[in-house]
Chains A and B, each alone.
Chain A
Amino acid sequence: MTFRDGSSAAIRGTPGTLRRIMARLGNRLLPPGLRRNDKPLLPAKKLNLAVRNCRKALAEQGETQADWKTVRAVARRNAPAVVADRLEAFHGERPAGLHDLRLVSAFIGLQGCNEQAQRAYERLLVRYDPWLRLPEGLQVQGFCGAGVGHGSLNAYRRVTLNGQCLFEKIYLCENRAPIKQMLFAQRHLLPRLEGIRSPRLVHVAQGRCLAAAYFEWADLSVSQGKPLALAASLVRQLQRFDETTLPPEAALWVYQPNFLGSCRGQLLKLLGSEMPARAAAMPALLAQWQAKLDAGPRSYCHGDPSLGNLMADGWVVDWDGCGFLPRGFDAGNYLGRRHADLPWPEIVALYRQHFADPADPEADWRGFVFFFLHFMRAPASTQAPLLRDAFAALEEAMTGS
C-alpha cells in the first residue's frame, strides 16, 4: 500500500519469523487468524451460485423455517461436495479457519430464526476470534440476507439492542481497511452528502480478527428507485471531495496499486480475445496507461456502486470500499455493469449527461473509459463492437494527452 507521502508498506504474507515458526510447528498450533489457509475452498462466484441454488431448492420445498439439518441436506444435493463436507465439519464443532468461516456463514443464513442456529453461529464466530465480545443484551431476530463482501462475512442478521432494531454486519479485520473506510464514510462523508442516506452505525464490537458492526435498521427491501439519478448524484457529490476538503485521515486510504493490476489482467483477457493481432503489444501499452492513471488526479469514490447498493429514496449502502481512487472509477463501474447493453455513443451520452464533472467535463474521461472496460458486463451479442469502440476511445484518450 502506498501512502501519500510516498512511503510504502508491503504486506506479503506473514513476517519471516512467523513463517519459520509455522513451518516448524505446523498450521494447527497457530491462532486461527494467522492460520495458513491460502486457497479458498470454493471461488466466490461458485459459492454464490451454490447458495442461490440452495435457497431456490428450499423455497421449492416450501421450507420457511428450515433447520440446520435441512440446510445441510439441501446443500448435499445442490452444491459441490466440498460445501457439504465443510458444513458437516462445522456441525461437528471442529475448529474452523477463515475459509470455513466464510463458507459456513454463506449458508447459515438460509436457516429460519431458531435459537439454536443463532447460538451455533455466534459460537462459530467466537471460536474463530475469541476476543470478539458480542454486545450484552443482544436479541437476535433472525438472518436477513446474504452478501458477497470480500471484507465481511456473508451472513447478515437483524437484531435488537437496547430496544433498537439494528442490522449486524461482521467485518474481517486481518486488514482493517473495510471497517475503517466504512467508519470514515459514516463520520465524514455521509453528513456532507445531500439526498443520500445510509443507515447509521450504532455500535461496533471489536475483536482481533472480526468486528461486528451494528447499523440502524432501515427497510431497504423496497423496489428500486431511480438508480441512474442516484448514482449520478453520488458520483458528482463525491467528485467534489479531494485531499484538501476532507480530514487528513482520508489520505490514509488511497487506492491500492494492486487493484489496478487486477484491472489490467482482466482487460488483457478481454482485449486479447477480441484483438489477437495486437495482443502481444498490449501488456506494455496497458502498463504505460496504468502508470498514467496512477499519476493522475484522484477523487473520492464509493468503490462499489452496484445496483444492489443503490436503493430507492436515496439509500446507498456498503461503503466498505470507498476511498481515493483514480477519477472516473465509480462512473465506469456503474455504467459498465449496468448499461453495457447500449451502443458506445449512447453510453458516452449518458456519461456526459450524468456523471461528468460540469466544471471540468474532461477530467474523469480517461479513468471512466478504463474502468468501463474493466467492469463491462455486455451481452455476448454486442460485446465485440462495444469493446472495439471503447478501446478506441481509451487509446485516443491515453495517447491524446
Chain B
Amino acid sequence: MLPFKTTRIARFHCQADFTHAAVLNIDFHDDGFRRIPFHLSLRRNEGVVVVNRRAPEGWRREIIFAERFEAPTMAVDIRFGPLGATLRLDGRLIGRFGALPRPARTGRFFLRRGFPGLGGIAHVDIRGPLVPGSLLMDCPGLDQPAGPAVNERLELLLRGLGEADAVELAGMKVHAENLRDELPMVQLAMPYRLASGDGANAREHALSCLLPGRIWQGAGESLVLRLVDARGGEHARLTLSREWLQAQFEAMARSPKLQRDDLFALQAIEHAHFAGIVDALSAPGRAALAERAAFFGLGDWLFGEGGAVTLGEGGAVPASAAPSARADARQHSALPGQKETPPQALRNRFTAAMRARPDSEPAAELAALIDGEGIGPRAARELVLGLSEWFSIHADPRALHALANARGLPPHAPRGNDIWHDSSVLPFLYCQGDFQTLTALIAEMAQPQEGWVVTPALAWVAREAAQYSPDAGGRLPSPMERLAIIRAFIDFIDRRAPDYWERLPCRALIGALVQILCERHSLPWYLNDELVWRLLRSHALVPGFWAAVDAAQAEGRLELPERMKPARATFRELAALVQAGGGDRDAIARRLDLFTRLGNVDVARYRRDLLGPSGLAPVGAALPDLADSLHAGLDPDEAILRQLAFPQAGDEPPTGLDETGTRRALRRAIGTAWQGVPRASHAALQEAVARQALELARLETPPGAEALACFAARLRPLCSGDGGFLAPALLWRLAAFFLHRGQTTPADALIAASLGLVAHWRPEHRGAILRETAPALAMSALRAAPGSERLMERLSQEFAPGAANLPGAAPAHAGPAAPGGPENPDPADAGRFVFDTLVCICSCRPNLDSRIPALRQSWLQSLRALGVPHLVFVGDGDGRREGDVVHLDAPDEYEGLPQKSLAMVRWVHDNTGFAHLLKIDDDCFLDAEPYFFSLSHMKFDYYGRPLTRQRGQMNRTWHMAKSRSERGQLELDKSPEPSSHADGGSGYALSRRAMAALVAAADSYEGQALIQRSFMEDKMVGDLLALSGITVANEDYRVAVMRRSRLGGPLVSQWENGFLPFRGSGIKLAHLDGVDRMAEVQAGKAKPVPRPKKTWPSYQPARLGARSNALELVSPHARLARAAAAPVAVVACMRNEAFMLPHFLAHYRALGVEGFLIADNGSDDGTLELLAEAPDVALFSVDTEYSHSHYGVAWQQALLAGFRGGRWSLMADADELLIPAPDWQGGGLPGLLEGDPAFADADAARVFMLDMYPKGPLADADFSSGDPFTEAEYVDHEPFLTVSGGMGPFTDAPVFTSALRHRLIAGSRAELFVAQKFALLKYRPWMRLSAGLHFVADIRCARRDLVFAHFKYNAAFRAKAVAEAARQQHFNNAEEYRNYLALVSEGREAVFDPAISVPWRECDFVRRALAGEVA
C-alpha cells in the first residue's frame, strides 16, 4: 500500500512481470478505503485486461479488453487528469475512463456509469509481481516534508533525495540516546518522481529506518534521535515526545488503516508496549489497540502475562481473550456479573418440576410458570423455543405451539446461520403448516456444519410427516409435501452418516426412521426402495437400530422388509462372534462382506477393529499374517500401512508376501495417507528414468543411438505439463554431460530425440515450454557446455525460429562444471550433471566439530556415492572456501540466520553454476536417493514443505527467547501476512531462477524493507520470492519433522507426522533436532519397515502429515504388551501434567491397575520424560492439535480399539482419581469388576466427576507436598445438578452437571459442565463414543456407578487457566477457562463456601453413589 494522490495530474507507471505469475492487480483506493475508484487487472492466462471500480455497495461491471501477453513483461502506464484516466499498455492506448456516464449498448438506459471519484484517490495497492525498480509514480499532490520526519507507521524517513544525494548520504545511522546499538538507515529507491529532477535523475531516493518500539525503553518524556552520517558527523536531529506518540495513537485508533495495515498495527503495539502509554490512552484507543493485539496473539506481550485490560463494557477479561469473550457475552450472556437470564432459569425450573411431577400436564405447568413469573413476550418466546426439544421427547410440541399462539407470541422463523435455533424451530414450522420452509431447512441442515442439531425436534417432525399428521390448524400436508419432508430427512441421515462423531445413534432419530419404515407402504416404489437401502447403508451395524426394529415388530407395527432380514440375522451372528472373543477371523470377515456389499458406512471401522493388526485376538496372540489381513477385505494399501506401522509389529520385514509388491503397496499407501502432499502423476516413471539416465551416463563407453532412442521413447509421458516437461530437460542435461566429456555423437542423438518428442507440436507451443523451470535450466546448462553452439543453433531453430536468443530461458549460467567442478568429468561425476544440484548445509562455527562429522559419517556418504556435491556454510567469515566449508560474510548467531541464508544464496549464485540448491540444516537427515531420483525438485523454482499463514496466525515473538542481541530480544517480527513459504527446518530447494530472483529482490526497495522487518529466515525467503511471484511447491515432498520438547528427552514427531526414511518409502528427509540419532537413521534406511511405530483411530483412515491423529509409540514394545494385556488398564491423554502425574500413577497402581496407555499431546514441562521412565506406562505421543481430537476421545478411541478390545479400560484425565468404595475389599478395581454382579453382563459404567477443592485459597492446595484427598477435601453439599432435555440423543435419563461450576459461573447455560462420563468401558466396535465421553451409544451400562474425585482446583490452576485461555484448544475457545480467569481477576481465589461445602466423606450423594444406590 503506497500513498498516491490524484488531486492534480498524476501518473502511474510500472512494468508487470509475468515470468512466474499470471495475474497483476492494481487497486487505487480513496482516503477512507471505502471505495476503489479505479482498478486494473492484468490476467495473462485468461488473455484479458480488466478495468473496474468498486463502490461501497460492491464491484461494478467489468470492462474487458482482450490482450495477447506475448512478452514476459508489460509496461503499464496510467495517467489521471481532470477529465478521467488513460490506460496504456506497452505504449498502446487501451482506453480512456472519464467521470461522466458514457453510451453503452448493454448498460441500463444505454448508459454506462463512468468512473466518478478519480480525483479522490489516496493510495495504491499493487498485488502481483513487478520488475524490480520499475514502479514510478508522479503525483505532485503528495506532501513531501523537508528533512527527516516520522510517518504514521513510525518510520523515520529522509525523503526527497536525488540519486547522487542518496549515495552521498549512504551509511547513515540513527542514534537514540538510550540505545546501545545504532539503527541502520536503509537506502531506498522510492517509487516517486522528484518534482525538480528530469530524465534519469528523476527518481526520488530516500533513507529509511523503521523505528523499533524499544527506543522508548528507559526514555524520559521526550526522546532525541540523531541522524549520524558514516563519518560520525551529525546530519540532523529529531525530537519525539510521549505526548506526540499518544496523539498519534488516538488518531490511529480512528484510522481505518489499523484494521488493514498490519505493519502499522504492529508498530503501534510495539511502541505502546515500550512507551508504557496504554493506560494513558482514551477508552476507544485502548480498546482498538487491545483488539489488534489479541488479533496478533500479542495480548499477553502488550499487557504482561495474564494481564487484563478494562474494556468500556462487559467487565474485565483477559487481554488475550478479549474479542472472543466479548462475542460470547453477546451470544450467551455467560459472563460473570450478569444475572441468569429468565428463559434459562425457567427452563431448568420447568424440567425440574416435570421430573418431580411426571403426571402433570406439561402445557398447563408451563403456562402457570410463565404467568407466575410475569415474563415479557420476548423472554417467553425464547423459553418456548428452548423447550422445543423437551416437548419433542416427552410430550407434543403442538401444545407448546398452542400456548405460544394463545399468548400472541410472534411465530418462529429460521435464522439461517444458527443450527441449534433452526432445528429447534422445526416443530413450530410443522405446527404452522409451513411445510415448504421446513423441507428447505432440513435440506440445508443436511450439509455437515458446525453446531448442535436438536435431533429430537427433527425426529418428531419426520415422525409426524410419516404418520400423515395434520398441522395445528388441522391441515394435512399434501402428498408431495409429505414426501419432500421424508425425503429431506432420509437425506439428512444419509449425508451425516459417514461422520463418526455425528449423532446417528440418537434414539429419537432411530425411532423416527423405524416409524417411516413402518409406513413405507405409503411411499412410492422408488422411495420405498431407497429408504431400505439407505437404512442398510447407515444403520445396519448399529445395535440400537435393530433393537428398535425388533421392538416395533414385537408391537406388530412393522413388517420387516425382506431385504433387511439377512442383514439383521448377519448382524446378530457377528455380534455373537465378537462377544465370544472374536477368534474366528474368517467367520467375521465372511459376515462383514454382506455389509460391504451394502456400502455400509461403519464397515470400514468394524474391519479395522476386528480384522486389523490387533483385532479382538486373545491376549498375547501373535499379529495376524500380513497376507491374512490383506484378504480380510480391508483396503489393501491401508491394511499394509496399519499393520507394518503397528506398535506391536516387529522391525523385521514381513514374510509370506512378495517383498517388492509389499514395498510398492506401502509406498502407495504412504502417498495416499499423506493428504497434504500432492503426488506427481508419473512418480514411478520419473524415478525409473532418473535411474536409467544415471546408468547411461555412467557407462564407460558412451551408449549407442539405439539405447538413447529407447530411453527417449520412455520419456514421452514426461513431455507434458503434467510431467513438468522433464523429458526434454533430462535429454538436454545428458547431452550437456556428453559434451563436457567431448563425446558429440550421443549428444547429437539426444538432441535429435528431444526434437522428435515435440515434432508434432506447433512452434509456439514448443517455445512456451522454455518458460518451465526444468527445460529452461537444462537448456542454459547445455548452452554452457563446450562445443554446444551447433546444437544450440538447431534447438533455437526448432523452438524459437527467427529469435536470436531463446525467449524465456534462464540467464546463461556456467553449469555444474564451473568452479569447483571437474574440467573433464569422468562417468562417476554423472550425478553432478544429471541432477545439477548443490546441497548446502546451513551450519554454524560451533557445529563444525560436532554435527558436521556426524553428517559425514551418515548421509553425506550416500550423497557422495550419487555424485552430488555439497558445501557447508557457516558465518562470521569473509566469503572464502576451505575444503567443503564456506565461511560467509554474515553473522553466525541465531538471529543472523536471515542474513546468513541470503548470503549463502548469493554466494552460490555468484560463485557456482548449479541449477538448483538444496538448503538443509545440520540437524536433518537427507535420504539422497528418494530425493534426487524422484526428479520432482527439478520441476519447480521453489520446492519444500509449505507453511501458510493467514493474517494473525504467526507467532511474532518466537525469536525473542532464542536471540541474544537487543534487537532480537525486544523487537516483534513485523513481516507480512498472509504468506506462504517453505519450512526452513525441513529443507527447501531453489532453482537458479529463484536464486536470481531472491538476490534481485533482496536488493530492491521492497526487499530491503522486508529484510528490515523479518526475523524468520524461511519466511523471509518466501516473502522475498513472493515479490517475483514465485510460490512454493511440494509435489512428493514427504518429510518427517521430529523434535524434542527438552534437551535429552524423547524425539517425537511434531507438525509433520511422518516416518523416518526407510527402504522404498519415498520419504526424502527427516528433521532430527540434533545428530545423536543420525547413525541409527542411516542404519534403518535400508530396512523395509516403517519406524517409529504408529497407530490411528479406527474410525478414520490412516493419515500422515499435519492433523493426522497418529499416535506414535515412544516406550519400548514390552511395556505396551504388558499394558495391553492388563485385566484393567487406565487410558489417558495428557498435556503438561507433571504436577498431578505422580499422584495419578500412584493412586491407580494402589487400586490394582497394572497398565497405563497414555497419549501425550506435546508436553514441555517434563511430563513426557516422566512417563517415558514409568515401567508400567505404554507411552504414545500425538502431535495433532487438541481441538482436532474431539477432546482427546479420538486418541482414546485409537488406544481402545487398538489394544483394549473386550477388556476393561478406565478413561481418566490426570486430575481424575477414582474413589474406591469401602466394599472393594482389597481386590481393587479389577476385583470389583470381576466380582460384583452389577458389572457381570455390562460393558460400560458411568462415573461421576466430583469437584474437589481446598478450604483456603487455591494457591494453598499444593499437591507437591501432600495427598490431594487431604489438601483439597471439600465438595459442595449437593455436588450435582440434573438437567433433562438437551442431551436427548443417547439417553432419556437426566444428565448430571457440576453444581460447583454453576455456582462459580452463575448464569451459564444449564447444559454446560456435564459431570458424568462413561469412562469405564469394555470396548466393542459398535460403541460410538461422543466428544468428551459424556455419552456413549450402544453400551450395556452397569447397574452401579463410580465416582472420580476431580482435582481441578489447586495451586496450579491459575497458571493452567492462563495457558489454556491463550491456547484456545478447548470447548468454545476455552470459554470455561476464560471465565475462570475473569473470576480470579476479581479476586475470588477461594471456592470454599462455609454454607455449602462439606468434606467429601460427609457428602450424602457420594456415600450413596459409592454404595451403588444412585443408579
Contact = CB atoms under 8 A, between A and B. Distances in A.
A144 to B, nearest CB: 21
B480 A206 contact: no
Contact of A203 (B487, B593, B681, B682): B487
A188 B478 contact: no
B599 interface: yes
A203 to B, nearest CB: 7
Interface in A163-189: 163-164, 183, 186-188
A399 B487 CA distance: 53
A370 B760 CA distance: 26
B533 A187 contact: yes
Given A191-B537, A203-B487, A244 B480 contact: no
Interface stretch (B406-414, B524-532, B610-618, B1389-1397): B524-532
Contacts of B440: 162-164
A220 interface: no
B487 A353 contact: no
Contacts of B525: 206
Interface stretch (B431-439, B578-586, B730-738): B431-439
Contacts of A343: 760
Nearest to B718: A349
Interface string A340-372: 000101100110010000110000000000000
B681 A353 contact: yes
Interface string A149-169: 000000000000111100000
Contacts of A350: 717
Nearest to B682: A353
A107 B956 CA distance: 66
Interface string B634-660: 001000000000000000000000000
Given A247-B533, A358-B668, A163 B436 contact: yes
A379 interface: no
B1221 interface: no
A244 B595 CA distance: 11
A136 interface: yes
Given A188-B533, A192-B599, A164 B480 contact: no
B202 interface: no
Given A162-B480, A247-B533, A206 B716 contact: no
B493 to A, nearest CB: 12
B491 interface: yes
B796 interface: no
Contact of B597 (A136, A161, A246, A353): A246
A202 B491 CA distance: 10
Contacts of B437: 163
A357 to B, nearest CB: 13
B596 interface: yes
B439 A163 contact: yes
B484 interface: yes
Contacts of A359: 636
A247 B597 contact: yes
Interface in B587-623: 593, 596-599
A162 B533 contact: no
B529 A187 contact: yes
Which residue of B439, B526, B760 has the most chain A CB atoms within 10 A of its CB atom? Answer: B526
A393 interface: no
Interface in A120-160: 135-137
Nearest to A202: B487
Contacts of B1364: none
Given A137-B478, A192-B599, A247-B597, A353 B436 contact: no
A66 interface: no
Interface in A305-349: 343, 345-346, 349
Nearest to B485: A162
Interface in B689-720: 713, 716-717
Contact of B481 (A162, A186, A187, A206): A162
A221 interface: no
Interface in B428-458: 435-437, 439-440, 443
B598 A247 contact: yes
B483 interface: yes
Contact of B491 (A188, A192, A200): A200
B597 A203 contact: no
B630 to A, nearest CB: 11
B893 interface: no
B672 to A, nearest CB: 11
Given A188-B599, A202-B487, A183 B480 contact: no
A204 interface: yes
B793 interface: no
Which residue of A162, A192, A203 has the most chain B CB atoms within 10 A of its CB atom? Answer: A162
A29 B525 CA distance: 31
Contacts of B760: 343
B590 to A, nearest CB: 12
B983 interface: no
A116 interface: no
Nearest to A180: B526
A245 B484 contact: no
Given A161-B480, A162-B435, A162-B480, A349 B716 contact: yes
A183 B494 CA distance: 16
A204 B526 contact: yes
Contacts of B717: 349-350, 353
A164 B479 CA distance: 16
Contacts of A187: 529-530, 533-534
B553 to A, nearest CB: 23
Interface in B179-197: none
Given A246-B597, A346-B716, A353-B681, A162 B529 contact: no
Interface in B663-705: 668, 681-682, 685
Interface string B486-508: 01000100100000000000000
Nearest to A183: B526
Contact of A136 (B478, B599, B685): B478
Contacts of B439: 162-164
A137 B494 CA distance: 26
A206 B524 contact: yes
B478 A245 contact: no
A209 to B, nearest CB: 17
Contacts of A183: 526, 529-530
Nearest to B636: A359
A345 B681 CA distance: 18
Nearest to B443: A164
Interface in A53-100: none
Contacts of B480: 135-137, 161-162, 203
B193 to A, nearest CB: 43
Nearest to A213: B526
Given A161-B484, A164-B440, A191 B491 contact: no
A353 B716 CA distance: 11
Contacts of A202: 484, 487
A139 to B, nearest CB: 12
B854 to A, nearest CB: 40
Contacts of B599: 188, 191-192, 247
B436 A162 contact: yes
A278 B478 CA distance: 67
B961 to A, nearest CB: 44
Interface in B546-601: 593, 596-599
Nearest to B717: A349
Closest 8 pairs (CB-CB, A-B): A163-B436, A162-B484, A349-B717, A204-B526, A187-B533, A192-B599, A162-B436, A163-B440
16 contacts: A161-B484, A162-B440, A162-B480, A162-B484, A163-B436, A187-B534, A188-B533, A191-B494, A191-B599, A201-B526, A202-B487, A204-B524, A244-B593, A245-B596, A247-B599, A248-B597
Given A187-B534, A247-B598, 20 more contacts: A161-B480, A162-B439, A163-B437, A163-B440, A164-B443, A191-B537, A200-B491, A202-B487, A203-B480, A203-B487, A204-B524, A206-B526, A244-B593, A247-B533, A247-B597, A247-B599, A345-B716, A350-B717, A353-B681, A358-B668
